[in-house]
Amino acid sequence: MTEWHLLPTAVSASADGAGTNWELALSSLWPLISGAIMGTIPLALSSFALGLVLALVVALMRLSRNRIVSGIARAYVSVIRGTPLLVQLFVIFYGLPSIGVKLDPWPSAIIAFSLNVGGYAAEVIRAAILSVPKGQWEAAYTIGMSRTRALSRIILPQAARVSVPPLSNTFISLVKDTSLASLILVTEMFKQAQKIAAFSSEFMLVYIEAALIYWIICLVLSSGQSVIEKRLDRYVAH
């Protein structure tokens, strides 16, 4: 949008020959990176944070002995996992206005991605909680803890260790899935790429450049995952 108009002349000159491809690559770098910084990354971070909170609630609901509560959670996970993310995005952004709920692109995207992460991560968290041995609950109870305190002090810290690798997968998928937000008018990195590509007709170059930036972001996330895993592994025998 506004950044787009700052794009250098190299874009329009690019059709002239191979020599100017590098110029195009260089000059489109900043619009793409700013799309990542202003769009992709905050979208992914906020959706993941909200999605994790939602996922914890849904996981606990699924573990509830109350059939209705666990049934609601089960249905939610089933719908989220059983429908395409793109359809979820479209329902929220293009569908909801027809029943009077009109949301801007950004809130629509954050809601859709959070709901999506909530569904997938709920299953991860549920499995991680179940992976903690029953004796840990019992030990917590015998020192006088309530269920809530046992969960927060004893069970979740151990479940966290188990859930880091699969949750990292979810997060990395989310980073890439934010490109779908371009289809509901959110100016994130891929939207920028589409504009530059359309304007310059250098589809291959621009899309590969965008792909590289996604890849770099994911590499950084993977190394972050290793750091967290190492830290949480300090109490495990090797």
Q: How many CB atoms lie within 10 A of CB 175?
A: 22
Give the CA angle between residues 139, 143, 144 to the nearest 5°: 120
> Which of 114, 112, 152, 123 shows the shortest CA–CA distance to 136?
152
**Dist CA 49 CA 118 (whole Å):** 10
Interface stretch with other proteins, choices 1-9, 10-18, 43-51, 148-156 (CB under 8 A) = 148-156
- Could you tell me which stretch among 57-65, 103-111, 216-224, 229-237 binds other proteins (CB under 8 A)? 229-237
Q: Which is nearer to other proteins, 98 or 148 (CB)?
A: 148
Binding of residue 135 to other proteins (CB under 8 A): yes
Question: Shortest Cβ distance from residue 132 to other proteins (Å)?
Answer: 10
Name the CA radius of gyration of the chain, rounded: 22
Closer residue to other proteins, CB minimum distance, 37 or 143: 143
Report the residue from 81, 102, 153, 231 that binds other proteins according to the rule CB under 8 A.
Answer: 153
Cβ-based nearer residue to other proteins, 227 or 236: 236
Give Cα separations from 4 to 24, 26, 91, 123, 184 (angstroms). Answer: 13, 14, 28, 41, 18
Per rule CB under 8 A, is residue 17 in the interface with other proteins? Answer: no
Place of tokens 């980073």: 175
Q: How many whole angstroms separate alpha carbon 79 and alpha carbon 126?
A: 17
Q: Does 68 bind other proteins (CB under 8 A)?
A: no
Query: Applying CB under 8 A, does 161 fall inside the site for other proteins?
Result: yes
Least distance (Å) from other proteins to the CB of residue 82? 35
Q: Which residues contact 47 (CB under 8 A, 6 or more apart)?
A: 109, 110, 113, 114, 116, 117, 174, 178
Q: Which two tokens stand for residue 22?
A: 């590098």
- The smaller minimum CB distance to other proteins, of residues 10 and 145, is found at 145
Minimum gap (Å) between residue 228 Cβ and other proteins: 14
Closer Cβ to other proteins, 72 or 145, answer by number: 145
Tokens, residue 194: 């589409």
In the bound state with other proteins, the residue whose beta carbon lies nearer, of 71 and 133, is 133
Of residues 139, 204, 208, 212, which one binds other proteins by CB under 8 A? 139
Measured CA to CA, the distance from residue 82 to residue 76 in angstroms comes to 10
Residue (71 or 157) nearer to other proteins, CB: 157
Binding site for other proteins (CB under 8 A): 133, 135-136, 138-146, 149, 153-154, 157-158, 161, 234-237
